[in-house]
Structure 1
Amino acid sequence: MSFRGKTVVITGASSGIGAASCIEFAKKGANLALVARRKEKLVELEKTLVKFGINTSVCECDVSDKTQVQKMSSQVMEKFGGIDVLVNNAGFAIYGTVSDLTIEEIESQMETNYFGMVYCTKKFLPKMLEQKSGHIVNVASVAASFGLPGIASYCASKFAMLGFSEGLKHELKGTGVGITVVSPIMVKTNFFDHQSFKHMPKYSPTALSAKTVANAIVSAANSSRLEIIVPSAVRGAVWIKHTFPYIVNPILGSVFRKQMAKKNLFF
């Protein structure tokens, strides 16, 4: 599908999945609002997008801050006059048990991963409803379906995102506005650069490229589905987990507890 002339807002655009998504949408002719905290990274990205002949806007914004989201959304509307696709991609994780993490560390993940998505959705949804068109793509994770030790607070933020999206999808029926969640497995990005992961193996052999997930996000922007799991084969694992949790949960818990025990040996 061509997005030529469409306006796409992407949060967490400075690197990883967000930056890759900007490139894939640009290839299809979309005008882009690049949203992230690191302005210098956005400026670098904007330079790489010049060759596509699209309009862009660099929006320095911490999506966990309502005031900054308000300013960013006003900037987008002034520049483009509307919005066709919102990609809520900004997010991060801090590794650690619930007992070891501080309240502030747990809150910070929810503030960015969940409430940041809510703030952006609340600012742009009214315009989509007015237009009777638009699509919201929320970038979650298979962690939205599996509660895993060591990243319980991150999982909670993604569970919340999926639940919010499902409820909103029902509310949007018949409005012309859609919503789809993209839930990838591990992705090769700077996600694991946080110091809490320093003693953990960064990637598994099955880890996806950011481009693979970006292509799924582009597809999601024109999809009627609630959730797209990347790769699709993992959908079977999600089904098994929900259907036979009494079998799957003990196995998952054992595997991850062993991994955490190995990590603790390094301290």
Structure 2
Amino acid sequence: MQSLKGKKVLITGGSRGIGGATAIALAKEGAELGLIARSEESFDSIRGELTEIGAVFAVAAADVSRETMVQQAVTKLEQELGSFDVIINNAGVGVYGSFMELTTDEWRKVLDTNVMGIVHVTKAALPGMIEKNRGDIINISSMSGLKGTEGSSAYSASKFAVIGMSESLMQEVRRNNIRVSVLTPSLVETDLTRGNNSNDRNPEKFMQAEDVAEYIVSLLKLEQRTFIKTSQLWGTNPF
């Protein structure tokens, strides 16, 4: 297994949820972290946790849907840490409602964040990986990217797109020893999902952000000659 000590990891949506849990897990492995989130204030909690661990990290506020902001954020982080070995595209939003109810602006918000956000971040950080001739890109999709459900047309469309984009990118960069993996977790107990579910369910029966983080660490530790292209993560018995 590979050591992650000293690996430079870029995480979007890195202040909380899956991104925050992954940052903590990787910091414990000795990775150096570049975190992107929407606002400086959103880093308040995780700064303390990472400092306690003794992590090397840098943060930048940016809306991933805005290309110029992303380029500026990645440049700032690379100046502080160096070029990245790993990109974890985790930032995402969900807007739900019937197909006819969703507005054009709502569709754009979801697609610009969940799809174009990955495009902007990856295009900004990928040249450094190509120069090193190795690296990892992990894109977080969803089970909604494998199966559409009523009321989730925009979200599902974005997550289907993430899978297709990841597949194509993987074929392009394999020759550079860059591994591209896409994760499709079912419901994970995070701030994003908490408000959209029944109050009578038991949250402890659903996957936690820390579970996904642990899996991401295991993916990155695989010897460079091997990678897992797609991963479905399910709660064992959420019913």
Please give the alpha-carbon distance, in whole angstroms, between the structure 2 residues aligned to 1:119 and 1:189.
24
Please give the alpha-carbon distance, in whole angstroms, between the structure 1 residues aligned to 2:69 and 2:60.
10
Contact persistence 1:182–1:216 (CA under 8 A): no
What whole-Å deviation, never above 9, does each CA across 1:57-101 have from its counterpart, x for those lacking one?
111111001011010110111011210111000001111011001
Contact persistence 1:90–1:113 (CA under 8 A): yes
What's the offset of the Cα at 1:204? 5.3
Q: Which residue number in structure 2 is paired with residue 201 of structure 1?
A: 198
Q: Give identity over the alignment, percent.
A: 35
Q: In the alignment, residue 226 of structure 1 is paired with which amino acid?
A: K
Q: Which residue number in structure 1 is paired with residue 165 of structure 2?
A: 164
Q: Which residue number in structure 2 is paired with residue 214 of structure 1?
A: 213
Q: Which residue number in structure 2 is paired with residue 137 of structure 1?
A: 138
Contact persistence 2:58–2:81 (CA under 8 A): no
1:190 aligns with 2:191: yes
Contact persistence 1:85–1:134 (CA under 8 A): yes
Contact persistence 2:3–2:221 (CA under 8 A): no
Q: Which residue number in structure 2 is paired with residue 249 of structure 1?
A: none
Please give the alpha-carbon distance, in whole angstroms, between the structure 2 residues aligned to 1:28 and 1:126.
25
**Which gives a bigger RCO, structure 1 or 2 (Cα 8 Å, sep 6+)?**
2
Please give the alpha-carbon distance, in whole angstroms, between the structure 1 residues aligned to 2:219 and 2:199.
27
Please give the alpha-carbon distance, in whole angstroms, between the structure 2 residues aligned to 1:222 and 1:145.
26
Q: In the alignment, residue 212 of structure 1 is paired with which amino acid?
A: D
Please give the alpha-carbon distance, in whole angstroms, between the structure 2 residues aligned to 1:41 and 1:109.
20
Give the RMSD, CA atoms, in angstroms. 1.9
Contact persistence 1:136–1:221 (CA under 8 A): no
Normalized against structure 2, the TM-score is what?
0.90
- Unaligned segments of structure 1, at least 5 residues: 235-267
Q: Which residue number in structure 1 is paired with residue 92 of structure 2?
A: 91
Q: In the alignment, residue 126 of structure 1 is paired with which amino acid?
A: P
Aligned residue pairs: how many? 230
> After alignment, is 20-29 or 210-219 more displaced?
210-219
Q: Which residue number in structure 2 is paired with residue 30 of structure 1?
A: 31
Normalized against structure 1, the TM-score is what?
0.81
Q: In the alignment, residue 131 of structure 1 is paired with which amino acid?
A: K
State the structure with more CA Rg: 1
- Change in 2 beyond 3 A, CA 1:156/1:39: same
- Unaligned segments of structure 2, at least 5 residues: none
What whole-Å deviation, never above 9, does each CA across 1:103-144 have from its counterpart, x for those lacking one?
100110010011000110111111101100110000111111
Q: Which residue number in structure 2 is paired with residue 230 of structure 1?
A: 233
Q: In the alignment, residue 81 of structure 1 is paired with which amino acid?
A: G
